[in-house]
Amino acid sequence: MSDALCTQEALDLFGKLRPSIRCALAAFNDQCFPDGQEVLCGLKSQIELVRDKSASASDDYLNNLWVVDRYLDFISKYGLTWESIVNQHFSDSWCSLQDALDLLRLVKRFSRLDISFFEDQVIELERAYPYNVFFSIGATVEYFECSLCGKNIDSQECPHIQGQLYRGAMANAIVRNFVQLDHVAMVAHPRDKRCVVSYEDDGKQFQLVRHLSSLIANRQCRILDFGHLKFSKRFRPNPDYRKLRRNEQCYCGSGKKFKYCCIAMSHVESDHVDIIANRYGIDHVAV
């Protein structure tokens, strides 16, 4: 943990925040979601006060404060994701999960904070959802404005690089003067997974995540115990199967004799998923 952040001041600050972060996670684990969010809101206010008093601090320290702030944002989105799952708002939980993953990537990119538990868990959680086709748009815009200096981020006048930190602020490209939509494409591996086919929360597509929701709501599996999903194939009795004499016409309507058609279809292969819990609890989570 000693090299998780590059300044000792930031390490000391994060060390002071850790007990409260663990309290927020414990509240989420007990499904007391508002309590956990209230704790995190208080921690965010502390970071803001520290930032206001550190205007003349080093670049590294200010960038570390930004990382700690994003870490708190991640914990908040993590709790919101599980709250939406428990409440069976599955479409909303997908968007919160993507927010959490984006924040996790930022923390991982700009620090060495130990996020391995969360990274493993949320990536595995993503597999519980039915989405495998995504939409991506192409558009014509006049230019992209730098969020820091207001100039065209692709021009020589802008000294900033998109996605880099400058004294505790990230340079982002803001679309200016949207000209026209060029195309919409269906893709399997988009940069943004939020644009998906919409399903109703009570639809069969959410069968797996709904089962996970039930396990957690009934406290058969606690949030921090969720480990991974084990996918497999199993043969189950075919509910449509009818035992006929070999030379009778098959029940499926193919027009073939039973012996040449569905005679071997008494059982059918189907997908099966085991939800594996790791009952470690809050003490296992590195914060």
* pLDDT above 60: residue 1: no
119 plus 141 within the same structural domain:
no
Domain-terminating residue out of 85, 100, 126: 126
Q: Which secondary structure element, helix H or strand E, spans residue 184, and what is its range?
A: strand 173-187
Query: Do residue 180 and residue 250 come from a single domain?
Result: no
Question: Do 263 and 174 fall into the same domain?
Answer: no
Asked whether the predicted pLDDT for residue 283 surpasses 70, the reply is no
The predicted pLDDT at position 17 comes to 96
What is the percent of the chain where pLDDT is above 90?
A: 78
Question: What SS3 class is residue 286?
Answer: coil
Shared-domain flag, residues 19 and 121? yes
200 within some domain: no
Looking at residue 269, its pLDDT comes to 83
Domain-embedded: residue 197: no
Mean pLDDT over all residues of the chain?
92
Q: Are residues 13 and 115 in the same domain?
A: yes
CA angle 158-147-70, nearest 5°?
125
User: Is the pLDDT at 123 greater than 60, yes or no?
Assistant: yes
Residue 143 has pLDDT above 70, yes or no: yes
Question: For 234-277, what is each residue's pLDDT tens digit?
Answer: 888 999 999 999 999 999 999 999 999 999 999 988 777 888 88
* Same domain membership, residue 26 and residue 98: yes
Q: Can you tell me the distance from the alpha carbon of 120 to that of 136, in angstroms, rounded to the nearest whole number?
A: 26
Residue 193 maps to a domain: no
Q: Range of 12's domain?
A: 8-126
Residue 284 has pLDDT above 80, yes or no: no
Q: Are residues 139 and 176 in the same domain?
A: yes
Tell me, yes or no, whether 234 lies in a domain: yes
Among 28-37, 51-60, 263-272, name the one with the lowest average pLDDT: 263-272
Name the residue with higher pLDDT: 146 or 2: 146
Q: Taking 80 as the threshold, does the pLDDT of residue 286 lie above it? A: no
pLDDT of residue 2: 52
pLDDT of 92 over the 80 cut: yes
Residue 207 belongs to some domain of the structure:
no
Query: What residues have CB less than 8 Å from 75, skipping those under 6 apart?
Result: 21, 24, 25, 40
pLDDT at 97 over 70: yes
* Nearest alpha carbon to residue 75 among 26, 124, 112: 26
Q: Please tell me the distance from the alpha carbon of residue 99 to that of residue 231, in angstroms, as a whole number.
A: 26
3-state secondary structure 75-136: HHHHHHHHHHHHCCCHHHHHHHHHHHHHHHHHHHHHCCCCCHHHHHHHHHHHCCCCCCCEEE
Predicted confidence at residue 71, as pLDDT, reads 98
Confidence of residue 280 (pLDDT cuts 50, 70, 90): low
Q: Identify residue 9 by its one-letter amino acid code.
A: E
Whether 210 is covered by a domain: the verdict is no
Is 12 a residue whose pLDDT tops 70?
A: yes
Instruction: Find out whether 172 and 106 touch, Cβ atoms under 8 Å.
Output: no
- What are the Cα distances from residue 141, in Å, to 29, 83, 163, 253? 45, 38, 19, 56
* Cβ contact 38:9 at 8 Å: no
**Domains held by the chain: number:** 3
271 by DSSP, 3-state: which?
A: strand
* Three-state DSSP string of 146-178: ECCCCCECCCCCCCCCCCCECCCCECCEEEEEE
Lowest model confidence (mean pLDDT) among 177-181, 212-216, 217-221: 177-181
Question: Rounded mean pLDDT of 95-122?
Answer: 96
Domain shared by 15 and 108, yes or no:
yes
pTM: 0.86
Per-residue model confidence (pLDDT) at position 233: 79
Does residue 280 lie in a domain region? yes
Residue finishing a domain among 126, 154, 174: 126
Query: What DSSP line would sit under 202-223, residue for residue?
Result: TSGGGHHHHHHHHHHHTTSS-G
Of 103, 85, 63, 101, the closest CA to residue 208 belongs to 85
Same domain? 143 vs 239: no
Q: Are residues 273 and 245 both part of a single domain? A: yes
Q: Which residues pair with 174 in a beta bridge?
A: 145
Query: Is residue 126 very low, low, confident or very high in pLDDT (cuts 50, 70, 90)?
Result: very high
- Indicate if 177 and 243 belong to the same structural domain: no
Q: Of all helices (H) and strands (E), which one includes residue 186?
A: strand 173-187
Per-residue pLDDT tens digits for 13-25: 999 999 999 999 9
Q: What is the dihedral of CA 31, 37, 39, 43, to 10 degrees?
A: 150
Tokens, residue 222: 């606690």
Backbone φ and ψ for 236, nearest 5 degrees, come out as: -125, 155
Is the model's pLDDT at 206 over the cut of 60? yes
119 plus 139 within the same structural domain: no
